[in-house]
Amino acid sequence: MISYIFKRILYMIPTLVLTSILVFTLIELPPGDYFESYVNELQAAGETVDPKLIEYLRAEYGFDKPIWERYFQWATGMLVGDFGYSFEYELPVREVIGDRLLFTIIVTFVTVIFTWLIAFPIGIYSATHQYSWGDYGLTFLGLLGLAIPNFLLALIMMFLANEWFGTTIGGLIDPEFVGQPFSWAKFVSVLEHLWIPVIVIGTSGTAAMIRRVRANLLDELRKPYVTTARAKGMPEFRGLMKYPFRMSLNFFIADIGGILPTVISGAEIVAIVLSLETTGPILIQALQSQDMYLAGSFLMLLGFLTVIGVLISDIALAFLDPRIRLQGGVSR
């Protein structure tokens, strides 16, 4: 098992190198660079720009060097935690992202837990009571959540929250706490605001999750080992949990790998509508304004989280499923 994990981590290195080359090529592909779009912006606003200053800035940030040299600088910088400089914010990338990462992780984590808490019981109920009124009713509710556009739901919820509870519009905290050190009052304020994005983002994911839990469990419920368990005298619910449910979890564990990247990139539109202090809106902004180091670092972080997520999934699968563990050439 140890050697398996070690091998998997080794595989990550070439994957990440390839990803970084791909990301760098992608952000280099559009014609021009940040300074060009900056100059265009200023000229559009009617201001004059000193071309010498732009030339100086270009040289300063290494834009006159060949592309492979800049890639090398960027890639090696990341190894020591230097992600480059964001031109737009005029701050190191790390500082731009760092502040918002905590909020993003809180929102995503709570949303994921919310989705699971709702989707699993409903999925199990739907599978065990297939084609019943309960199955249809709950599935309908789930699909309704999927069908309502997120931004619309976000606007409605924000309005209602303000009408009924007096919650301030937008953001994750009341304005008075911005920049304040963390305190109990600030925490309560976060909770007051948090439920809106959690429900808005969560409803869309729940329906898909219910359908997947239901479909996977239905497949397993028809397997002969379920009959074996019943013939042994196993109580229904215990048998359900020990055998078919456990088997149906494989898809779910394999899914965990996909959740990690959404921690920083998920639900951008909702975040913009609700003006959440998360990373999603920054990513979009950075891509629009060709703020290349910020965008590149974001994409790289996404790639890294994907690779880590898949690693976690694979290790968890190997732990939970002896077929993967023992047939994959891993010793007991």
The CB-of-122 to another protein minimum distance in angstroms stands at: 19
d(CA 5, CA 328): 12
Query: At 90, is the secondary structure helix, strand, or coil?
Result: coil
State the DSSP H helix or E strand holding residue 69, giving kind and residue range, or none if neither.
helix 67-79
The CB-of-314 to another protein minimum distance in angstroms stands at: 14
Instruction: Kindly state whether residue 134 participates in binding another protein, applying the rule CB under 8 A.
Output: no
Q: Write the interaction track for another protein spanning residues 269-308; mark x where CB under 8 A is met and - where it is not.
A: ----------------------------------------
State which of residues 1, 185, 191, 326 lies at the interface with another protein (CB under 8 A): 326
Indicate the DSSP class of residue 179. Answer: T
Instruction: Kindly state whether residue 323 participates in binding another protein, applying the rule CB under 8 A.
Output: yes
d(CA 44, CA 302): 34
State which of residues 51, 81, 166, 224 lies at the interface with another protein (CB under 8 A): 224
State the DSSP H helix or E strand holding residue 165, giving kind and residue range, or none if neither.
helix 150-165
State which of residues 109, 225, 237, 251 lies at the interface with another protein (CB under 8 A): 225
Q: How far is CA 250 from CA 71, 245, 257, 323, in A?
A: 39, 9, 12, 12
State which of residues 14, 31, 66, 181 lies at the interface with another protein (CB under 8 A): 14
The CB-of-248 to another protein minimum distance in angstroms stands at: 11
Burial of 77-91, coded b for 16+ CB within 10 Å and e otherwise, reads ebeeebbbbbbbeee
Chain-centroid distance, C-alpha 89? 23
Instruction: Kindly state whether residue 6 participates in binding another protein, applying the rule CB under 8 A.
Output: no
Instruction: Kindly state whether residue 321 participates in binding another protein, applying the rule CB under 8 A.
Output: yes
Instruction: Kindly state whether residue 233 participates in binding another protein, applying the rule CB under 8 A.
Output: yes
Q: Which region among 191-199, 225-233, 274-282, 311-319 touches another protein (by CB under 8 A)?
A: 225-233
Residues 6+ apart with CB under 8 A from 94: 81, 82, 83
Instruction: Kindly state whether residue 320 participates in binding another protein, applying the rule CB under 8 A.
Output: yes
Instruction: Kindly state whether residue 46 participates in binding another protein, applying the rule CB under 8 A.
Output: no
Tokens of 153: 């739901």
- Per CB under 8 A, residues contacting another protein are 7, 10-11, 14, 223-225, 227-235, 242-243, 246-247, 320-323, 326-327, 329
